Structure 1
Amino acid sequence: MAASAQAKRFLDGVYENLLRFLPARDVEQEARDTARTAAEVIATHLPGQSAEAVASFEQRLADLYRSFGEPISKYESRYDFNMVMHVATLLEERTRQAGWPVPDRPLLATMPTGQINAMTLVVPGTDEHLVLFEDQLFLFAHLAAKAVTEVLPFDQNEDGSVGFSLDEGQIAAKIAQRPEVANRFAEMIIGYLAKGRPGAAPQWVQERIPATLTSILVDSAEMFVLGHEYAHISLGHLGERRPVSRFNGTEAADPEEIRYSQAQEIMADIRGLELMMRAQFGRYDVALSYGGADLYFSMSDLLDRAVSLLRHGEEGRTTYTTHPPPAARREVLRQVLTKSVPDDQGQSALQMAGQIQSIVEMLWNGVRGSLLNAHRKGARPLALWKD
């Protein structure tokens, strides 16, 4: 489905309004951040391959991206647009291969929305809906997963298989041994909230084994986020139209957002989980397939607390209107998962999810002090971030 000329003008206008309230973009630095992340992903998927093999892979990826066409807005990052379209394509292909119907793809776009949940805008004067994703969401998911997997102890067996330890004592000891991980995590959060770019923080390259787990978790998280939006469509959710003045663009009236009820959001979470698990079926076991979706909610919860702490100097100032609190959504998914898979697989998935949540909380303990110190020095999140 192609966007109309009116949709393009509308989204350009929304972008122009938003860019007035954001720091000036360093396009060259963003390109370097993107190239570094892409190099990490390629190294994970093609370990030890020749330069020719890597070049061939990059060419195939470039050809794939060209097939996605142009972003809707001229201000939209092509990389961000390609990432969303790539994940959407994979989700559709994998779920259809698993025998599940997938609704027609909606109009997808990315922009700095100031919220981790996707949002849907109505193009004024038309029946077109634009599903907008936070433009740094996938990079944020990648960097958050890196921090988690970097402190997850593992052993490589003689047969080449890898076993990850979920022992909380071992994890705490590794975090204590690697204080730079918590520091990088804090820098990433502050860079995201204060500059709009998690990639503004200093980066590091992971070794192959934790990098592979990072890739799996990110794959799961991305599939779930897209699956949630497809679920709203397949479930026939209509929602209510509400004006969004902060996104006011070139149209005379404020843009309208489609807001779903909290019950509809939970229903979309459940159907989105089903789509994601179908897409991951046969690729990873249940625990790994589910882990990224659970991490997504743990990080959403942490980001809400971080916004409140950096803006007000205290946690707990976040209010929830449409989407239920991330922790509540995470608990629903866990209950649904355990009723949908054999007991041993469900318990294994819950154990891994619980330890990932514990790692996030342990890292948060290190982040809290850095954020409070930044708040005292006058740092504040961008006005775009809601609390």
Structure 2
Amino acid sequence: MTENQEKAIQYLEAFQEQSLVERFGKDYLSKYNDVLGLTKKTDFLNAYFNSQLNMTDEEKADFTKSYDSSLKSCIIKTKYELPESILILSSLFDKIDVAATRLTYQLNKKPFIGTAFSKEFNAFAARVPGTEESLLVFESELFTLCNLLAKIIASCLPDFKIDESGVSFNCKKIRIKNHIDTNPLIKERFKDFVINAVINGLPNGTRQYFLSETVSKLQYELLSSIELFIVGHEYGHIYAGHIDKALVKTRMINNEQLEFISPDWQMEFEADFYGLSLLVNTDSAHSFLPFSLLGPELLFTFLDIFERANTLVALGTEIHSNGGNTHPPTIERRKKIRELLGESIPERLLDSYQVVSEFLENVMEVLWADFNHAHIRNGN
């Protein structure tokens, strides 16, 4: 490892430590496991196996062996990094790298990647001081959030079936509402999600659960799509040179002033374009169409609800975001994604994509309206 690479790791570790202090206080180590709600391996495996009723003992043994092997092969660069997070990020970057090669979007120098408890559901890019190394840091609970979102949406698709003839489902709004109204567990899980992930900002505090084998296939495709878009978006920032062009902000890390980029609206739209292009060109994007392209929609539809929920709690009224200094309005970003997909996917897929896009928006609005009425406006 070169001296500059060692500096990059030291920079990442310093940022991770400072984020923990800002998030949980100076005694963060004493709260670390309780606050983050980290699940023990045995608890995770048992809960997963209990949800997969058709798994044989041999399949469970193979799954456990694969899980252990993945964790052992994971190279942890700092003492604050979680093996599961790095495994996810490494796998996603590998897929994005393949897509980038197809599109000739390859980087001259790959960034270091890591996670930190920044309490912001995004990532940031930084130039490591005194080096040519760059760093991408993702919110540690971002992928937990993505997983929860994918589970919620998959659970709300009425009459979802997979058989020899293909995939079937019902996207009518009245059927969606009836499905949610007659499944109180969906509402209960959404309530738990909003309270922990949205209001408290701690997705890891949400109760863990697993879906049936059929629905989990849909959930996996939604999860993969949103994760690949997020990583592709940040990759796009690096590829487009934003790390050298953007405004630079500073923050104190261990009494040292360090820099990170603050992109503008145009840079965010550009990174969205690259993120979508990379997603569309991954192998995963063609496995379960059109759901495998729904990730950007899922992200921005959630962020719109997130912003409205926070203004409702703070101000007593829902307000769509008008954007800020660095990020454009969420609704505008979703609109751009829809326009770009309309131009880039085959016409035969466009109608079906629009159907599942409308389904996604309807699900989130129905769930949010119900939660809002039952637990905020009525003071419960």
| TM-score by shorter chain over 0.5 | yes
The yes-or-no answer on 1:276 pairing with 2:282 is no
Cα deviation, 1:347-375, whole Å, max 9, x if unaligned, reads 2112211210111111111233466379x
Residue pair 1:144, 1:185 contacting (<8 A) in 2 also? no
- State the partner residue of 2:19: 18
Residues 369 and 183 of structure 1: is their aligned pair in 2 closer, same or farther, counting only changes over 3 Å?
farther
Cα deviation digits, residues 39-62 of structure 1 (max 9, x gap): 777899x88343333433443454
Q: CA deviation at 1:187?
A: 1.6
Which residue number corresponds to residue 174 of structure 1?
179
2:300 corresponds in structure 1 to 297
Contact persistence 2:156–2:180 (CA under 8 A): yes
- Cα pair distance change 1:112/1:176, threshold 3 Å: same
Deviating more after overlay: 107-116 vs 167-176: 107-116
TM-score, L = length of structure 1? 0.83
Pick the aligned partner of 2:245 from 239, 243, 264.
239
- Does the 8 Å contact 1:183/1:366 carry over to 2? no
Partner of 1:125: 130
Match of 2:177, SS?
A: helix
Report the equivalent of 1:349: 353
Q: 1:69 matched to which residue of 2?
A: 75
Distance in 1, matches of 2:40 and 2:200, equals 14
1:259 and 2:262 are equivalent in the alignment = yes
Aligned partner letter, 2:180: I
- For structure 1, list consecutive stretches of 5 or more residues without a partner in the other structure: 378-387
Percent same amino acid among aligned pairs?
24
1:165 is matched with 170
Q: Structure 1 counterpart of 2:245, which letter?
A: G
Structure 2 distance, partners of 1:346, 1:38, is 39
Match of 1:331 in 2: 335
Higher RCO (CA-CA < 8 Å; seq separation 6+):
1
* Counterpart selection for 1:144 from 133, 142, 149: 149
Check conservation: 1:241, 1:256, Cα contact below 8 A: no
CA distance in 2, matches of 1:68, 1:92: 19
| Secondary structure in 2 matching 1:308 | helix
Which segment drifts farther, 131-140 or 301-310?
301-310
2:366 alignment counterpart: 362
Unaligned runs of 5+ in 2: 25-30
| 1:271 CA drift (Å) | 1.7
Distance (whole Å) between structure 2 residues aligned to residue 42 and residue 265 of structure 1: 41
Cα distance in 2 between the residues matched to 1:338 and 1:52: 45
Quick one: structure 1 residues 75 and 323, their matched pair in 2 at CA, closer, same or farther if it must change by over 3 Å?
A: same
Aligned residues: 370
Report SS of the residue matched to 1:25. helix
CA distance in 1, matches of 2:236, 2:205: 33
**Alignment-derived partner of residue 28 in structure 2:** none
1:294 is paired with a residue of what secondary structure? helix
Hey, what's the Cα distance between the residues in 2 that align with 1:76 and 1:66?
Answer: 14
Instruction: Give the 3 Å change call, closer, same or farther, for CA 87–36 of structure 1 in structure 2.
Output: farther
Structure 1 SS opposite 2:22 = coil
Q: Specify the SS of the correspondent of 2:178.
A: helix
Contact 1:228 1:272 in 2 (8 A): yes
